[in-house]
Chain A
Amino acid sequence: MLELAMGIMLGLLGLGAGCAMIAGIGPGIGEGNAVAKACEAIGRQPECKSDVTSTMIMGCAIAETTGLYGLIVAILLIFVAPGTFTGILKDAIK
């Protein structure tokens, strides 16, 4: 009984971590758009290259945040959650 419950729990945690990383799609699209627009801007005004580049890197880093939240949730699910839930499961089944 405990083994079955543990197996189901670990499998679902893995699935949950995978689902959490769907959040990586958004920053990918967003940063791609940002870089494309920055390239256009540099092409139009090559003298602004350094300003545009620093602003773009700044914006990319901020756009990355949502993806990193997903990553942190996934890491918590893989490395931290099993330890917590194993104790709860053992108490519940005993």
Chain B
Amino acid sequence: MTEERVPDVRSTRFRMVDYALIAMMILPILACVVLKVLFTPQSEGVAIAGALVFWKNTAELTPMTFYISESQVNTWAVMISIFGLCLYLTHGLTAKAVCKRQLVAEWIVEKSEKLVKDNMGGFFAQWGPFITAIMGLSAFSSLICLVGLFSPTGDVNVTFGWAILVFFLIMYFKFRGGFWKYFIGLFKPIPVFAPMNLIGEFATPVSMAFRHYGNILSGAVIAALIGSALTGLSKSLLGWLPGVFSDMPLLRVGLPAVLSVYFDVFSGVMQAFIFAMLTMLNIAGGVPWEDWNARRVKHNKPALTND
């Protein structure tokens, strides 16, 4: 039994590592803002456009054209930021919590494990990190529009990528009962339902992707429309003001921020929660326990339970 090494929270080294981790959280976002400012073309008025394309593979080496767009770069930045946040929260982890941030980290871990265990059952109790990763990436990707960047979740390719990942997981667990059993299951209750069952299988990822994308995109479009409307209104109403005030869209102060609380913050966090929730329910709900256990017993393996 060795004495636990308690980190000295006031030492210079500890603080330097802290500052480095905070920089790791903030710098990628700042870099994305700089990239956006450099690449945004000069334009007048409001523009409702998709993600900026930073780089395009124009060489004829590959069969298809690759794009490095704003949504990808922002996703990378969010990933690095979340990684930095995780490292920061777990820095100086001890049995006796000497840092307040350890309580936050413990709260997150406990909540996510409880959520996963309640919704997926005991067999999937180890899936907490995966579900929390999906939820965190989704929530922070949506919230990144608060600093003026393009939300990666407002791009259908990003949400479709996540939905396809979830679709593979669902299919993996559905095939655990044997491929033939799954195939027969498509023709139940009567063979006429086979096309509808097949469409139902593929509708799950499509609806997940479109739900997330549609919510975030509608918020962005409404914000852009209201911004342009208020600009026009303040030009016609406050154009008589002297000097530079006549050019300033003064009416844009305030109201867009209030709407942003719903459309960006609430909607973004809500959709992250719903995406994670649907992931859990779809994966755990599609497992054919009886068929799987029958196969396991046949191969002399112990039967599984989901308690």
Chain A residues close to B by CB (< 8 Å): 57-58, 61-62, 64-65, 68-69, 71-72, 75, 79
B210 near A61: Cβ-Cβ < 8 Å = no
Given contacts A61-B211, A79-B48, A68 and B218 within 8 Å (CB-CB): yes
B277 near A72: Cβ-Cβ < 8 Å = no
The majority secondary structure among interface residues of chain A is helix
Q: Which one of A57, A61, A62, A72 contacts B213 once the chains associate, using CB atoms below 8 Å? A: A72
A75 near B221: Cβ-Cβ < 8 Å = yes
CB distance from A18 to the nearest CB of B (A): 15
Q: In the docked arrangement, what's the CA distance between A71 and B211, Å?
A: 10
B207 near A61: Cβ-Cβ < 8 Å = no
Q: Which one of B211, B217, B270 contacts A65 once the chains associate, using CB atoms below 8 Å? A: B211
CB distance from A7 to the nearest CB of B (A): 22
A71: chain B residues within 8 A (beta carbon): 214, 218
Q: In the docked arrangement, what's the CA distance between A91 and B198, Å?
A: 38
Chain B residues close to A by CB (< 8 Å): 48, 207, 210-211, 213-215, 217-218, 221, 270-271, 274, 277
Q: In the docked arrangement, what's the CA distance between A57 and B29, Å?
A: 31
A72 near B271: Cβ-Cβ < 8 Å = no
Q: In the docked arrangement, what's the CA distance between A58 and B119, Å?
A: 13
CB distance from B262 to the nearest CB of A (A): 14
B277 near A58: Cβ-Cβ < 8 Å = yes
Q: Which residue of B lies closest to A69 (CB)?
A: B210
CB distance from A56 to the nearest CB of B (A): 12
* A-B pairs, 7 with minimum CB distance: A68-B214, A61-B274, A65-B211, A72-B214, A71-B214, A65-B207, A71-B218
A62: chain B residues within 8 A (beta carbon): 211, 274
Q: Which residue of B lies closest to A80 (CB)?
A: B50
Given contacts A57-B270, A58-B274, A69-B214, 11 further A-B contacts (CB under 8 A): A61-B271, A62-B211, A62-B274, A64-B211, A65-B207, A65-B210, A68-B210, A69-B210, A71-B214, A72-B214, A75-B221
Q: In the docked arrangement, what's the CA distance between A57 and B278, Å?
A: 13
Q: In the docked arrangement, what's the CA distance between A68 and B217, Å?
A: 10
Q: Which residue of A lies closest to B48 (CB)?
A: A79
